[in-house]
Amino acid sequence: MRTDGRQPNQLRPVTITTGVNKYAEGSVLIEVGETKVICTASVEERVPPFMKGQGKGWITAEYAMLPRATHSRNHREAAKGKLSGRTMEIQRLIGRALRSIVDLQALGERTITLDCDVIQADGGTRTTSITGAFVALCLAVNKLSKTTQFAKYPITDFLASVSVGVIQERALLDLNYEEDSKAKVDMNVVMTGNGKFVELQGTGEDSPFSREELNKLLELAEGGIEELIEMQRAALGEFADRIGG
């Protein structure tokens, strides 16, 4: 039995609240159990230098935790004067994942920045950020579509992410912080609406894992991601139908 009474293949309760920021082109508060992340999508009508003149857009992401998002207070990275390796790794992952379902050509020469700020952390902050940022991105693109005539809708598919892991020989879906710190194997999976992998990051620092274990974990992840995409669809309402259209 899991500490919070869930089945091995059961997600924590998920809530996606849209429109939580009056300035951002797209915004959501996503809650997965006690993990809470504010995701905003900001549109700028220019691209970074390395993308200039290609007629294509850019999607990038930044990630941070409030100092007291965790059990004990963390120092602010702004005060320390640099981003930790963990932060950089996570924000690179979020950006890469979201670019995979955006047709940058169709988007045109503009940048959408996804800011994922963790208000409270209880495991799975990077996967929750990806799932929430996808919705914020869709809202921003939808807002853009009111003033911009896209030749093709720039979002090509749904995208969500979940963590899976192995604790005491059992594969479990959507680890909370307590489970995460006990897991021998820990894997973050990002998948599209059509069931393909965008990112797979598994680590068995404490205990290497076999092909069989890998397969079990991937099945759990597939199930969880299908459910998450249903919730994204509900949060987006009628806009959901434009995706991949």
Tokens of 179: 């489970």
Residues 6 or more apart from 184 whose CB is under 8 A from it?
A: 165, 166, 167, 204, 206, 207, 209
H or E segment to which residue 89 belongs: helix 85-99
| CB of residue 103 to its own copies, shortest distance in Å | 12
Closest listed residue to residue 37, CA positions, set 122, 160, 98, 95: 122
Question: Is the C-alpha dihedral spanning 42, 47, 50, 56 positive or negative?
Answer: positive
CB nearer to its own copies: pick between 77 and 109: 77
What is d(CA 164, CA 186) in angstroms, rounded to the nearest whole number? Answer: 6
| CB of residue 185 to its own copies, shortest distance in Å | 9
| CB of residue 82 to its own copies, shortest distance in Å | 6
CB nearer to its own copies: pick between 17 and 100: 100
CB nearer to its own copies: pick between 115 and 179: 115
3-state SS assignment for residue 94: helix
124 in a labelled binding site: yes
Closest listed residue to residue 175, CA positions, set 233, 97, 217, 123: 123
| CB of residue 38 to its own copies, shortest distance in Å | 7
CB nearer to its own copies: pick between 7 and 152: 152
Tokens of 114: 């996804």
110 in a labelled binding site: no
What is d(CA 193, CA 244) in angstroms, rounded to the nearest whole number? Answer: 10
Tokens of 177: 């912080």
Give me the residues that bind its own copies (CB under 8 A), please.
Answer: 21-24, 27, 34, 38, 40, 42, 44, 62, 64, 66-73, 76-89, 91-92, 96-97, 99-100, 113, 115, 117, 119-120, 157, 187, 191-192, 194-211, 214, 218
193 in a labelled binding site: no
CB nearer to its own copies: pick between 52 and 80: 80
242 in a labelled binding site: no
| CB of residue 148 to its own copies, shortest distance in Å | 18
What is d(CA 138, CA 156) in angstroms, rounded to the nearest whole number? Answer: 11
Point out the annotated binding site for phosphate.
86, 124-126
Point out the annotated binding site.
86, 124-126
